Amino acid sequence: MKFEQFDPRPTPEAKAHNDKIIAGAKQLIGIEVTIPSLADQCFINIDPQHTDNDITTCALDIVTSDNFKQNVLPTIYHDATLVTVRPDSDSIASMCILDLHKNTYLGEFFISYEKIKEISDHDKFVKNPVFSKTPLDLKSPITEFEVVNSLMLDFNVSLGLKVILMKDFLRGYMHPAHDSETSEIFLKKASEMIKSKTVLENQIFENKIRFDVSHHENLVVLETTHHNVAQLAYSKAPVAVCVNPECTLMSDKPYLKYTIFAYNENYANIKAALNELNSLEKGWGGSPVIGGSPQGSSSKLDLQTVITVVKKYIKY
């Protein structure tokens, strides 16, 4: 199977890139293709959270289900092109499972379903249904999955290498005891993450991360360039507007990125907020609990506009 990533940016270069993927595919299988015009080009698009608004299911749940294996998997070509807009642990693991199902002898197909559950729970934000402020924990050791998840989100790691890394993780080969290239990459990323924790700790100590809780008792506005926004936000409130003035996700150049999210659907109607923001600026989207501004290019909306919209949909 081939593995590709659509470019969500509204540029001629992105269109040319995406058109080339579409033209070169014998069969296009989308996994979290969140752009409707691109999803329409796919034979199927496995995107329960963003397209179907089902936050209780992730793409990995779909591709590992008996129904999918019995009814959908036989219709997928062994040389299909698997494509995503969101290269995260859920979409990459789903690619791996599809590839292993179609192109691996049964005797070689061993994966850890504990690891699959770990990815699934993380992607669905499985947690206590009632919010309580969570003190920042910067002392706990970094887990194997946290390192792998960070690698999946790393713009500098190619999609092909992400697939290899994820396959090794699912098979239990990622542990440093294994003498492999993936173990070296794993250890390097773990070292970077330990340093990142220290940077975050210093930024908090030096008041370089801006928290604003003045707009609503259940809303925090957070300005930071650090990636660990959920942990930061949930130390203050169940609903968040986060602004990163130097985001590099899916881009080699920094851009202004807004992310809005809620602890769960009981606290805010994030989907409605995203729909209104998309009416003001095309490209906003996400799931019922998290989403954001256009990927890969700076948002043109000012922060106060985003805050005003989100406040309208806070439930209490």
Domain tally, the chain: 2
Phi, psi at 164, each rounded to 5°: -60, -45
Residue-wise DSSP of 255-300: EEEEEEEESSTTTB-HHHHHHHHHHHSTT-EE-SSEEESPTTS---
Residues 216 and 308 in one domain: yes
Please name every residue paired with 182 in a beta bridge, in sequence order, or none if there are none: none
Answer yes or no: do 120 and 233 share one domain.
no
119 and 15 assigned to the same domain: yes
- What does the pLDDT read at residue 179? 53
Whether residue 171 contacts residue 178, with contact meaning beta carbons closer than 8 Å, is answered with no
Strands (E), 166-234: 210-216, 219-223
Final residue of a structural domain among 97, 127, 157: 127
Give the dihedral of Cα atoms 183, 188, 192, 197; nearest 10 deg: 40
In a domain, 201, yes or no: no
| Residue numbers of the domain that contains 281 | 210-312
| Distance from the Cα of residue 79 to its chain's centroid | 26
Q: Reduced to 3 states, what is the DSSP secondary structure of residue 216? A: strand
Given this model, what pLDDT does residue 129 score? 72
> In this predicted model, what pLDDT tens digit does every residue of 248-300 receive, in sequence order?
876 778 899 999 999 988 999 999 999 999 999 998 988 888 999 998 889 99
Task: Assess if residue 163 is contained within a domain.
Answer: no
Residues 7 and 117 in one domain: yes
| CATH code of the domain in which 284 resides | 3.10.310.30
Q: Which helix (H) or strand (E) holds 106?
A: none
Length of the chain: 316
Angle between helices 159-171 and 89-103 (to 10 degrees): 80
Task: Identify whether residues 232 and 119 lie together within a single domain.
Answer: no
CA 158 to chain centre: 16
Pair (222, 105) in one structural domain: no
Residue type at position 194? I
- Of 127, 152, 168, the one marking the end of a domain is 127
Given 127, 157, 175, which residue is the final one in a domain? 127
Residue 199 lies in a domain: no
In a domain, 158, yes or no: no
Residues 13 and 111 in one domain: yes
Tracing tokens 């996400």 back to the chain, one arrives at 286
pLDDT computed for residue 312 by the predictor: 95
Nearest-angstrom CA–CA distance, 51 and 285: 10
Residue 134 in any domain: the answer is: no
For residue 5, give every residue at least 6 positions away whose Cβ sits within 8 Å of its Cβ, in sequence order, or none.
Answer: 83, 84, 85, 87, 159
Indicate the pairing of strand 81-84 with strand 2-5.
parallel
pLDDT of 178: 54
Which amino acid appears at position 165 of this protein? L
Using a cut of 0.85, tell me whether the model's pTM lies above it: no
- Low-confidence residues of the chain: pLDDT under 50: 106-108, 176-177
List beta partners, residue 177. none
